[in-house]
Structure 1
Amino acid sequence: MLMLMDVKLLSKTLIRNVMWRTYYTNRTNKVTLYSKISPLGNPSLSLVPELEYWVHQGKKLRVGELQRIIHDLRKRKRFSQALEVSEWMKRKGVCIFSATEHAVQLDLIGRVRGFLSAESYFNDLRDEDKTDKTYGALLNCYVRQHQRDKSLSHLQKMKELGFASSPLTYNDIMCLYINLGQYEKVPDVLAEMKGNQVLPDNFSYRICMNSYGMRSDIEGMENVLEEMECQPHIVMDWNTYAVAANLYGKAGLTDKATNALKKSEKTLDKKDALGYNHLISLYASLGNKDEVLRLWSLEKTACKRHINRDYIVMLESLVRLGAFEEAEKVLEEWQSSGNCYDFRVPNTIIVGYIEKQLYGKAEVLLEDLIEKGKPTAPNIWGKVATGYLDIGETEKALECMKAALSIHVEKGWKPNHRVVRSLLSWLGDKGSVEEVEAFVESVRNVIPVNIKLYNALLKAHIRGGSTEINKVLDSMKTENIDEDEETKNILAMWQKLESA
């Protein structure tokens, strides 16, 4: 809770004038609240201390800027932080929440805490705040969490109140049936929508097209597309033709898919990188490398800046096509682009190498990244280790697993138990005591201690003529590790050697 002094500061710094209810832009390069919060990229990081500190410093607090922050956080799917800012605004009385602010907060509550919490928030609203916006936000929460009965019951209330007059409401219900796999019900919702004099929008038609595609009813999909093209209120966009191309492609109708992609490209804003990415992916799914490369060239010319997402899409497409030479060139472009490092970019081609059993290439690229001081990930090293082991390259598998264990940073990552057992068995038969002990120490940091680790240690000690077998056995007892059949055989061999 804020101290009394902080509350006074809040009241002094809060600008309620309507002129500040527009998005604030930093034209003088001054530090703004948005510029302080935006870089805090860790989704688990609380933003409240930054908000409190801003107020404590006596700086201006603008409603429009807070709304911009919430909008930006939602766009980046940082829903917990967006909810945190919204609840802080409400708690501090930064502004009187209208139905719009309530709808935003209700949506965020549903995403973060579930539909029951959203339902509770809705029920506590004043009657005047229960508008089409808040009703719609709750409906969206129900749909998102596949609550069929609640969604339909809520829709009925909205109809009774006259709140079901926008395509968004019906689109939600169509999405519900898509999510539930009840594709045959979607066209009926579109028909009801039109019967209630609610004009379908582009998204309405796309959902319906998808419902036919899911049932492999290409004719039905084409009928919807043709109807859409004839509607005077509809402006055909690249996304709709891309949906058609995707459905044609899945049905094996390559020529029709290509034709739809050509139509899509004609309606595409030439600076829309996201659109280019989508078309590139679709051409890759059709196996058309020439079109993938052509569109990439167009995108690079039309869009001044290429973010990591663009490179990932292009690399995924080339890897899917098996065009590794071209993919390697794109990776070089990314490395010299000046973009911030993101392991997902090189990882795309590394995964492709692994799928094609090009483990050597994958390992070389990983080692190159490490030499340049770039972080990698243990799971991908583990996959290379698995691949090497499967083709009998045990020593290389061991080196890759060591690399994975040395950079263990991912929560929940566990090495492949089969690979670990095989490597332990191999080390027990061939490795020195020091090698086995070092590997066991690394492994026990990420998986529970088990008898396989001790068996490897026992075998290495026996082969090396060690006198510390009893210490290993005492350690087993301390950690309550029971002997298995292999342990008994190892100890029997040791006793024979001792008595010889």
Structure 2
Amino acid sequence: MWALRRAANPLRSHSQQMVGVRACCAMSEVLSTNITHREEHHEKKYERLNIYHLSKSFSCGLISHSSSFLSIRKLSCQAGAKSSDKEDGLEDGFSDLEVPPETDIVGNVENNDDSEKLLSEGEISEEDIDQAAHSSVDLLDAESDLKCEKKSSKKQEINSLFKVLMDAPRHSMAVALEKWVGEGNELGRSEFYGAVLNLRKRKLYAKALQFMEWLEATKQLDFNERDYASRLDLVAKIYGLQRAENYIEKIPESLRGEVVYRTLLANCAVTDDVSRAQEVFNKMRNLGFPVTAFACNQLLLLYKRCDRKKIADVLLMMEKENVKPSIFTYRLLVDVKGSVNDISGMEQILETMKAEGVEPDLRIQALVARHYILAGHKDKAEATLKEMEGYDINENRFACKYLLPLYASLGKADEVGRIWKACEEHPRLEEYLAVIESFGSLGEIESAEKMFENMLKTWKKLSPKYYNVLLKVYAKNKLLHKGKELVKRMSDNGCMIGPITSDALVKLYVEAGEVEKADSIMHKLSQQNNFKPLYTTCITLLDNYARRGDIHNSEKIFQSLRQNGYSGRLKQYQSLLQAYINAKTPAYGFRERMKADNMFPNKHMAAQLATVDAFRKTKISDLLD
């Protein structure tokens, strides 16, 4: 607290001697000064995270772990200061490799040809998948329970119940479930968790919610806090945050605990709702819930996309509250540093991890290798890949799905072939995805198609995700005709075209130069199949219209982003302003629009605004024209 108040006054002299942790805390001033400068001008408009809800008995001198945590916070500060120029033009969002691997479906349902009559993609973006991996509804605990149950006869009941849920139309699901229970099937907690997990993995949130509503209405199970949190998560995904907040009031007060509120916080982070996330976080503090690594990670995830300069504030709070960083915290920081091309900062985070006794997992190593490749450090990238391989790649199969696309990014076709040899006898689904993507990156289209056909022979009923990887290969290589044929094939095979396929299809048409057609496809598919387009889909269209100087269509896509709840990111404002610049047209009232949306320009946007201001008409310019 003392350090933040001191940093909030950049004009105060820092020549005074400081002792203990005060000397350490002062190192966050570089970043805090930037935040202060902005807040002094927009204090009433900009709601800052209230991290002052600390214990009154808190004393800076009591922090015993400040030296080890200091280096992490210092690195984050540099992300806001040292790398700010690089960061200005970057698109927010996770790196591709940050999307977690999908585990095998419980009971290997995917291998059962009769298990699915209709495969659906769901309603959320790729970003949300990473969030789901750290979901606050404690489904990982449920999955652990199921691993034990899979060794028993419960596995058959789980698959049977899931098949009933998949086959039953929504209007008659209750009848189907009552019939299934009436036939003597057991419906306990393990069956419930198994069915909901399978539905979630397929993004069938509406069915999962209907199933939970039926369970609660019929009192088949006594809901605990985790169950209510799971239902809250589904309500938020389907109906939005306001309905989710209203649902909390219906949960029994005794079960309205920290897990429930952190679920709501996670959904605020997913939707980039900064102000609501801050309100939920502060309410959790007011209710006396402890500050956890999970809650802090949600804020880090949110600010990573929306306001990176506030990452240091969260890390400072974690230090003061003695919250130990999790592996996900480190992963976020590694990606933040790598994405702004601060390789030395990224390496310092890795050193800090190891000093704290935390070994980087495969996903962090893959992130590091990817950032090395993008920064042109090929030797360091190759060294990281060799470390990921270990002594024997056959004994380290889990690394293959990461290694394949990374070697392809380095242009090493021989290495891709060598790694695939460790997989080809009994390939896993995620390895098929990786090798198809890898061959696509290398331009070996026929090899990618061959792998896709082999995958389809092994798993005849695949979700759209597995078609999309080949669709993205076609888009990258501008193979419009082949992409269209693949989408038709998906439809024939019973796959519902959802937002992720729509995203790939839009990029396919955009790469072929048919931007208007891509725009039309996005709107028609979202209306026909009742889903919200992904943020990346809209941004792809906005960027391409802006490149043409097409103000009308750029404004249309910009409004579509707002209507779909995608607000709080500077990227869309930058793209829209670029449309005015390319059209050499003044953007009257643009600053006022941003202020109304609680958005404030960074250095990159300030330069854009200066450029577009030069197009303003004056009396003398009218005469000269």
Q: Distance in 2 between matches of 1:335 and 1:276?
A: 20
Alignment partners' CA distance in 2, 1:75 and 1:175? 22
Residues 60 and 179 of structure 1: CA distance in aligned 2, closer, same or farther (over 3 Å): same
2:440 corresponds to which letter in structure 1? Answer: V
Distance 1:376 1:66 in 2: 25
Q: Spell out the pairing of 1:269-418 with structure 2 (5 A cutoff).
A: 275-300=399-424, 304-307=426-429, 309-324=430-445, 326-327=447-448, 329-331=450-452, 333-334=454-455, 337=458, 339-340=460-461, 352=473, 356=477, 362=482
Whole-Å separation in 1 of the counterparts to 2:238 and 2:290: 26
Identical-residue share of aligned pairs (%): 27
* SS of residue paired to 1:61: coil
- Deviation, 1:236, is 2.6
Q: Does 1:32 align with 2:32?
A: no
Where does residue 289 of structure 2 map in the other structure? 163
Q: Which has the higher contact order (CA 8 A, sep 6+)?
A: 2
Q: Give distance in 1, aligned partners of 2:352 and 2:201.
A: 32
Equivalent position to 2:221, from 83, 91, 95 = 95
Match of 1:147 in 2: 273
Q: CA deviation at 1:246?
A: 1.8
Taking the TM superposition and a 5 Å limit, the aligned residue runs for 1:233-248 are: 234-248=358-372
Amino acid paired to 1:155:
F
**Partners of 1:312 and 1:344 within 8 A in 2:** no
Residue segments in structure 2 that go unaligned for 5+ positions in a row: 1-143, 514-524, 530-625
1:123 matched to 2:249? The reply is yes
- Equivalent of 1:54, from 170, 173, 180? 180
Q: Does 1:196 align with 2:321?
A: yes
SS in 2 for 1:216: coil
Q: What is the TM-score with the length of structure 1 in the denominator?
A: 0.61
Tell me if the contact between 2:433 and 2:466 (Cα under 8 Å) persists in the aligned partners. yes
**Partner letter of residue 75 of structure 1?**
K
Structure 1 residue 376, shift from structure 2 partner: 11
In structure 2, C-alpha distance between the alignment counterparts of 1:80 and 1:311, rounded to whole Å? 29
Matched residue type, 2:428: H
Letter in 1 for 2:255: D
CA–CA distance in structure 2, aligned partners of residues 110 and 376 of structure 1: 25
1:257 to 371, 381, 385: 381
SS of structure 2 residue aligned to 1:175: helix
Q: Distance in 2 between matches of 1:198 and 1:269?
A: 36
- What residue is the counterpart of 2:353 in the other structure? 228
Amino acid at match of 1:118: A
CA RMSD of aligned residues (A): 4.4
Q: Is the 8 A contact 1:37 1:50 kept in 2?
A: no
- Distance of 2:338 and 2:452 partners within structure 1: 35
Q: Does 1:135 align with 2:261?
A: yes
- Determine the C-alpha separation between the residues in 2 that align with 1:168 and 1:152: 14
Matches within 5 A, 1:410-449: none
Match of 2:336 among 211, 216, 223: 211
Change (3 A) 1:352 1:28: closer
Q: Secondary structure at the match of 2:422?
A: helix
AA paired with 2:422? Answer: L
Alpha carbons of 1:127 and 1:41: their partners in 2 closer, same or farther (altered >3 Å)?
closer
The 8 Å contact of residues 284 and 317 in structure 1, kept in 2 or not, is answered as yes
Q: Which residue of 2 aligns with 1:65?
A: 191
Query: CA distance change for structure 1 residues 207 and 269 in 2, over 3 Å: closer, same or farther?
Result: farther
- Kindly tell me: are residues 162 and 221 of structure 1, through their superposed partners in 2, closer, same or farther at Cα, counting changes over 3 Å? farther
Q: TM-score normalised to the size of structure 2?
A: 0.50
Aligned-pair CA distance for 1:110: 0.9
Change (3 A) 1:268 1:199: farther
1:147 is matched by which residue type in structure 2?
D
CA distance in 1, matches of 2:392, 2:292: 26
Comparing 169-178 and 341-350, the one that deviates more? 341-350
CA positional deviation for 1:113: 1.1
Which structure has the greater CA radius of gyration? 1
Q: CA deviation at 1:269?
A: 9.3
